Structure 1
Amino acid sequence: MSTVVVSAEIASSPTRTIKAWWQAAPFALVFLLFFIVPLLLIAMVSLWNFNEYELIPALSLRNYLSIFEGCSHLTDNGDFCVTLSTYLSTLKFCVIVWAITLLIGFAVAYFLAFHVRSSAMQTLLFVLCTVPFWTSNVIRMISWVPLLGRNGLVNQGLMWLGVVDSPIEWLLFSDFSVVLAFVHLYTMFMIVPIFNSMMRIDRSLLEAASDSGASGWQTLWNVIVPLSRTGILIGSIFVITIVMGDFVTIGVMGGQQIASVGKIIQVQTSYLQFPLAAANAMILLAVVLMIIWALTRLVDIRKEL
């Protein structure tokens, strides 16, 4: 009898495999058409030549060489080449924004997960965190201008209180305003995955740590943080990938004065330098993938999930 059952299972396994392939086929087709094919087209165009009038479909590394031209040595002023300086500027914003959003996101998620006892209140507060996403990113960025401008509410308030004698210039169209806008726009991408990880933590582990004499900080560092690392990693990937490619926020809040890789690609596209923009896009993609690869070496997402 057992032999018949095993034979039936073996006979049905190819059918199950075929059904699984058919189920995955629509998703694979969408992934192929909307990700792989466009990516291959960008890679192909990045190898083309161009002039003021046309694209020349001739394979060449000219665009990549021109991007890194002069990067083998420092300039006369002791600075890096334009490409390396731009990437360093972008990475600077990326690291600062990641650190701030991680601190805020972890604190908010911790409060919602462990200090709000009612599930209804958790849901309400979580929905309130998503309220800013009901409006456009551009509108949320522009809303900072009347607050941080030279004649904005912040400067007027500081002058009225006598804290400063003249308006503070660096509040708007500066690195500060760019970081502020990034944190405002993207902190939610850190809160959601960390909160999800914290809600999956077995509360009996916290009780066991408390019974063992661990302080609140010891429990936080040795129990909650390690068990939340999947959410931290996912949120970090979200924030880093978005900030690395963002050009709208830097353009608006930086007053078109701060360089970024995304901004360079946008400018090259506007001047119809598509092969050069495609080459920069491929380099940016490679850098982002290396960052993600380094992060995934710290935590095996598939194993944790």
Structure 2
Amino acid sequence: MQRTASAWLQATPMSVVFLLFFLVPLGLVLMVSFWDFNEYELLPDFSGKQYLAVFEGCGPAATAERGGELCTTLKTYLSTLQFCVLVWACTLVIGFAVAYFLAFHVRSPGLQTALFVLCTIPFWTSNVIRMISWVPLLGRHGLVNQSLLATGLVQEPVEWLLFSDFSVVMAFVHLYTMFMIVPIFNSMMRIDRSLLEAASDCGASAWQTLWQVVVPLSRTGIVIGSIFVITIVMGDFVTIGVMGGQQIASVGKMIQVQTSYLQFPLAAANAVILLAVVMMIIWALTRLVDLRKEL
């Protein structure tokens, strides 16, 4: 009984923080999503009107009238998922490569630590500053375009380098690759090196060892890193706004615009739907590995 009471006492502070700063705000967002509003005030109510408004014009009949074109809401969600998949793939490749190099090719613990800290340098400044720093580099009169013009590779400045899907994905990868490196590196450092020697003794090539030993044993870190990156990108609106020149839509940007126009119930409904989508993605990822068992 004393051990049980002690365990509950130790868990109480974190439980209170979790309740006050996660469950209560989430409950309030869910509650407001069923309210109504006008130009001046929120109207406490219990109605699914806001959820219907989110998907207004998304039915089969309305889609057929538009010649099969998807409604704005679905196009926005698909655009957000597209960014999410592209950023996830890029961060996974880069993060896995960097983590593999640090874990298996850097022998000195001191150098390993120094290189790992070097990867965190971009986090020493704010996200906005890091994003703005790309503007003089990729802009119409930026360093990249000036170099391309000087070498004669292009005859006029390349327009898609900035304020485009490319710049948004690049900024996301720059900002969030570290969230993929850390958990994968942690998983790789826990791999028993004798397993690699055993694979080599059995005649496995370097690629076979990578795919059949390292990757399966790193899947916990891959899943955790994927959850970090996906959840951040799905809700991000600042990066898309800055690097997209306020011209690219995303679910987070849509929610931000709705709150700026004081359409809080509509924004709350979109937030609940977005949360449901993210939770389904996380559920699918956690089916690949039992995180509680692995951690």
Q: How far apart, in 2, do the equivalents of 1:25 and 1:196 lie?
A: 29
Identity of aligned residues (%): 79
Q: Is 1:29–2:16 an aligned residue pair?
A: yes
- 2:58 counterpart letter in structure 1: C
How far apart are the structure 2 equivalents of 1:77 and 1:212? 59
Distance in 2 separating the partners of 1:81 and 1:51: 24
Within 1, Cα distance between the matches of 2:86 and 2:58?
25
**For 1:197 and 1:167, how far apart are their aligned partners in 2?**
44
TM-score by length of 1: 0.95
Aligned match of 1:60 in 39, 43, 47? Answer: 47
**TM-score of the aligned structures, taking structure 2 as reference length:** 0.98
Q: What residue number does 2:94 align with? A: 104
SS of residue paired to 1:204: helix
The residue that corresponds to 1:76 in the other structure is 66
Uncovered stretches (5+) of structure 2, i.e. residues with no partner: none
Alpha-carbon separation, structure 1, partners of 2:107 and 2:67: 59
Q: Is the aligned partner of 1:224 residue 2:211?
A: no
Aligned mate of 2:125, from 126, 135, 142? 135
Provide the rounded CA distance (Å) in 1 between the counterparts of 2:154 and 2:29: 51
Task: Tell whether 2:2 aligns with 1:15.
Answer: yes
1:299 match: 289
Structure 1 residue runs of 4+, over 4 Å off? none
Secondary structure in structure 2 of the residue aligned to 1:29 = helix
1:162 is displaced (CA, Å) by 0.4
Q: Does 1:42 align with 2:32?
A: no
Shift of 1:304: 1.1
Is 1:282 aligned with 2:277?
no
**1:72 Cα offset (Å):** 1.4
1:147 corresponds in structure 2 to: 137
Match of 1:195 in 2: 185
Q: What is the rounded CA distance, in whole Å, between the counterparts of 1:18 and 1:228 in structure 2?
A: 37
User: Out of 146, 158, 172, which is 1:156 matched to?
Assistant: 146
Which segments of 5 or more consecutive residues in structure 1 lack a partner in the other structure? Answer: 1-13
Aligned equivalents of 1:42, 1:25: Cα separation in 2: 24
Tell me how far 1:77 sits from its aligned partner.
4.1
Give the Cα separation in 2 of the matches to 1:144 and 1:27.
39
CA distance in 2, matches of 1:20, 1:193: 28
Q: C-alpha displacement at 1:78, in angstroms?
A: 2.5
Q: Could you give the per-residue CA deviations for residues 215-269 of structure 1, whole angstroms, max 9, x where no partner exists? A: 0000000000000000000000000000000000000000000000000000000
TM-aligned CA deviation for residue 22 of structure 1: 1.2
Match of 2:200 among 210, 224, 235: 210
Aligned with 1:58: secondary structure?
coil
SS at match of 1:109: helix
CA distance in 2, matches of 1:25, 1:204: 42
What residue is the counterpart of 1:51 in the other structure?
A: 38
Say yes or no: does 1:119 pair with 2:106: no
